[in-house]
Amino acid sequence: MLNAKTERKNTDNYGKKQIVKDGVIQADFIFSSNGYLAECENFLPVKGVYAHISGFADQQSEPRV
């Protein structure tokens, strides 16, 4: 489960971008990231959670959720 701090960052990165306005991080760092999805711009998902299910591959390339 994503922690509250991560959820707030996602909401800000795709919404008001206060973190950029405050000079905490440069806009290029966010917008040039492979993980940034322009389609999520100004979109607030159900219950404010951007990643309901996340997965990865383990050392044997087996999918894990």
For 3-29, write each residue's pLDDT tens digit: 666 666 667 777 888 888 999 889 998
Digit-coded pLDDT (tens) for 22-63: 998 899 988 898 888 888 888 888 777 776 666 778 888 887
- Does residue 2 or residue 24 have the better pLDDT? 24
Dihedral sign from CA coordinates of 40, 27, 32, 54: negative
**Which residues fall within 8 angstroms of residue 49, CB to CB, at 6 or more apart?**
2, 7
Q: What is the pTM of this model?
A: 0.52
**1 has a pLDDT exceeding 50:** no
